[in-house]
Amino acid sequence: MSQTGKELNGAEIFLESLRKEGVDTIFGYPGGAVLGIYDKLYDCDFIHHILVRHEQGAAHMAEGYAKATGKVGVVLVTSGPGATNTVTGIADAYMDSIPLVVFTGQVPSKLIGNDAFQEADIVGITRPITKHNFLVKDVEELASTIKKAFFIASTGRPGPVLIDMPKDMLAKTTRFVYPDQVDIKGYKPTISGHSQQIKKAAAAFRKAKRPLLYVGGGVVMAGAHRELGLLAQEAGIPVTMTLQGLGAFPMTDPLSLGMLGMHGTFWANMATENCDLLVSLGARFDDRVTGNTETFARNAYKIQVDIDPTAIDKNVRVDLPIVGDLKSVLADLLTELSEKPVQSDYSDWWTMIQQWKDACPLEYDNHDGKLRAQFVLQKISEKVKGQAVVVTDVGQHQMWATQWIQFDHPRSHITSGGLGTMGFSVPAAIGAAFAVTDRPVISISGDGGFQMNMQELITAAHHKLPVKFIILNNSFLGMVRQWQGLFYKEKFSFTDLSASNPDFVKVAEAFGCKGLSTDSPDEVDALLDAVLAYNEGPVLAEFKVVKEEMVFPMVPSGGSMRDIMVKRLDPNRLV
């Protein structure tokens, strides 16, 4: 029943505004400043409220939900520590362009600035890590503010928006009117690319002998994977993807070179180094991709397509910028190319790429009877055949996952990229599982990152979510240990977890989950089959893998593609 025109208090306006936005799931934790909303939620039948066990978990769950669906993720927390506990998740969403609206309670208006109980200036704290934020000063502005927040979060380059709501604003009443449209002065995202720039891009494609499509997460956000596929397939152009771009183009397609960058494939990085046309689609030239920007693709003509004009030339100067929505720009580019198709023969280019593949294939020792993370990840990929949502944490396992798991569909790979947040995977996978019910949702973590938010297993168990929690346990902070081994003379300072790690099977069982464990390669197949077949609730599987393994290839931080390391330099070392 419509509440438009009725006299409602702020808490009721909050819920009705979410109804207007089509929100059906929110992640939150109650507290004094938002009790007015929770009082109304008690009888609310159109919103599924997920009670988390920590507010950071709420933010990451909303991220996982948003990345799995393309919808805006919604968070509701109280003031002070409730609000500040969301900061890591907000920063993570900001770096990875994830649409969130975070609602925080605040002390009553007259107490703001008085150091009242559970007061924090969350607007000031989050100003650098939100796309925009609001402090509601008048209940009459609440509905329109919520409308603006969802519009800002979901349009242009997506991102998090925060609304801080003083407790008295939730109790005051006004007539409820929800705007049909929003017009924000100075905020007009460009959708269509400039026609002359698109013509120039088409001409560059026709001229190139060694083209390369460099694909970022913007393709996934724009829903432009179909257009990308057509562009690549029409002319047989190789495609390399960033960490966030994985799945935008099928990794099993012969045109896919996999991921580029610090731990990308050797052939993707060499193709980047030697291409004569580099077309960046929704990617921001971050440092983990470029290394030394002075030498990055130095001989290539660079085209950058991005909806965010501030991303153009920010890290790497390009020759041809195109500002616009990727789906629209690629559609126009395909039309332009159809009128005069690309006629180039790229056989010599593909011969070079194949030589790089042959020279440095992805490989690991699989003959010494020890269990390795790469083996487990490869087996997961073989069993799910691209039909799963895989959520990784941060560290070595994250990079191995990009190498050994084949992502063939958009929104099938969810991870923390820009901020590199350990503890992301467990809650983000739970958030994704509330949206994805037709495919397995698999969370993959190292033993270090898993412990940062393992309390959210309780949330998964309470809702009987069939999330598959995988721990690749090497009893170390593996990626930090790798850097200590390579660049800090093997001084493994405070990275050994072997003496303090808990029994993860017992942890799982204590939190209401099924727990399994193995350290044998011979048991991996059967254990994974059991994990994938178990759908009565969450299941945790621990794989005790070797401690000393390192992730290669690796471009040293700040180095160029030519500095790529494909193995440990001293062959006598155990690693």
Give DSSP secondary structure letters for 383-409: HHTT-SEEEE-SSHHHHHHHHHS---S
Based on the number of CB atoms within 10 Å of its own CB, is 240 exposed (0-12), middle (13-18) or buried (19 or more)?
Answer: buried
543 has catalytic annotation: no
CB-based contacts of 432: which residues, under 8 Å, 6+ apart? 64, 65, 67, 68, 389, 391, 414, 441
The Cα–Cα gap between 279 and 228 comes to 11
The Cα–Cα gap between 279 and 114 comes to 53
C-alpha closest to that of 470 among 559, 405, 522, 408:
405
φ/ψ of 442, rounded to 5, equals -115, 120
403 has catalytic annotation: no
Based on the number of CB atoms within 10 Å of its own CB, is 10 exposed (0-12), middle (13-18) or buried (19 or more)?
Answer: buried
Element (H, E) at 68: helix 55-69
Element (H, E) at 380: helix 373-384
Q: Which of 46, 110, 117, 387 is catalytic?
A: 117
Q: Which of 12, 16, 21, 55 is catalytic?
A: 55
468 has catalytic annotation: no
Q: Which of 3, 6, 118, 141 is catalytic?
A: 118
Q: Which of 422, 452, 479, 561 is catalytic?
A: 479
Given a contact cutoff of 8 angstroms between Cβ atoms, the answer to whether 35 and 12 are in contact is no
Given a contact cutoff of 8 angstroms between Cβ atoms, the answer to whether 394 and 368 are in contact is no
Q: Which of 67, 71, 167, 514 is catalytic?
A: 167
424 has catalytic annotation: no
167 has catalytic annotation: yes
- Which active-site residues does the annotation give? 55, 117-118, 167, 479
